[in-house]
Amino acid sequence: MKVLAAMSGGVDSAVAAARAVEAGHEVVGVHLALSRMPGTLRTGSRGCCTIEDSMDAQRAANIIGIPYYVWDFSERFKLDVVDDFIAEYTAGRTPNPCMRCNERIKFAALLEKALALGFDAVATGHYASIETDADGNPELHRAAAWAKDQSYVLGVLTAEQIAHSMFPLGATPSKAEVRAEAAERGFSVATKPDSHDICFIPDGDTRGWLAERVGAEQGVVLDRSGAPIGQHEGAHAFTVGQRKGINIGYPAPDGKPRFVLEVRPKTNEVVVGPREALDIAEIAGSKFTWAGRAPEHPEAAFACEVQIRAHADPVPAFAQVVATDAGTELKITPDEPLNGVAPGQTAVVYVGTRVLGQCTIDRTVSAVPVPVT
């Protein structure tokens, strides 16, 4: 097959590209320039897709012996990931930019261009696996090494995208093995630290970054009954589950810490309450997709597991597609309450090791009723 290897400049994508070559594929490496400041340098393990990363990818491609290109996707990245991130926070939701990047850049814009140029598949260094069912339909599954499994951030992929994707690291037992292989191959990135945090906020100061772009306007902090108990300097700076930075100035009647339960951007209000009020009995989202073949009868409740963060443990649940006034939504009811779930997060549904689908959470139902005053 003719394969386009997405090379981020990290150790995983370098080894994935090398393995694709050894599997007998005709491979071309490509680095996506996503930063609008191409001279930006990486700081430790923060950020990615900098000029330093592109040079690391170039060196790995040279050792592998494959053609290498840099494609400028910075404008698309700004529109589909950065601007979306700002809009979601402005709307009071907690977005996951890595999900949006996989959905709209790496497996939409990149794959679309790759197929138009005659490539059969895109290979990445994600830890996930692709299997086929009894009828030959591709399915997305967890990686062999669950500690490094990245199937959660790939939950947005469609059946068509899965059919044109390759994950050469899916069966690898550990990241240590990948680093050892990189060292044997002579890759300079063998000991390069993994990137973390939000790549376009390399200093990690999300609150300050948003304040510069959204602005800060003082608003009211409410308790669960709707009574004002304090003020804040901008609702965008808060996320559901947050404890620090509320600064009400006096303790709750029971003396327990308060947590952010809800952010209301239209009224610039933040609702706070006890930790137990963060327990969520039901989540739902109208923007849902299936990662491969959909359930035969999705309107009937089916057993599954739900994962709401990249490194969270999966929780047994029941899911079903239900009708609403606006159309349909994927409703998920966990066997045990989920903690600290915010609208805008992604819920990925699994059946065994298979990624069945996902939804962007629109609404949540607390397991603890609002007290009557």
Q: Which residues carry out catalysis?
A: 101, 199
Backbone angles phi, psi at 213, to 5 degrees: -100, -25
Backbone angles phi, psi at 329, to 5 degrees: -145, 155
Range list of H helices, 122-266: 159-163, 175-185, 206-214
User: How far is residue 61's CA from residue 187's CA, in Å, rounded to a whole number?
Assistant: 9
* Nearest in space to 339 (alpha carbons), one of 289, 270, 283: 283
Looking at the DSSP bridge assignments, the partners of residue 288 are: 359
Up-side HSE of residue 216: CA atoms within 13 Å toward CB?
A: 13
Report residue 177 as tokens.
């093995």
Report residue 220 as tokens.
């009211």
Question: Buried b vs exposed e over 203-225: b needs ≥16 C-beta within 10 Å?
Answer: eeebbebbeeebeeeebbbbbbe
* Nearest in space to 96 (alpha carbons), one of 278, 337, 358: 358
Report residue 227 as tokens.
């009574």
Are residues 154 and 126 in contact, defined by beta-carbon separation less than 8 angstroms?
yes
CA 13 to chain centre: 18
Looking at the DSSP bridge assignments, the partners of residue 272 are: 260
C-alpha torsion sign, points 34, 148, 196, 334? positive
User: How far is residue 15's CA from residue 168's CA, in Å, rounded to a whole number?
Assistant: 8
User: How far is residue 278's CA from residue 126's CA, in Å, rounded to a whole number?
Assistant: 32
Report residue 90 as tokens.
């402005």
Report residue 81 as tokens.
């990931």
| 3-state SS assignment for residue 353 | coil
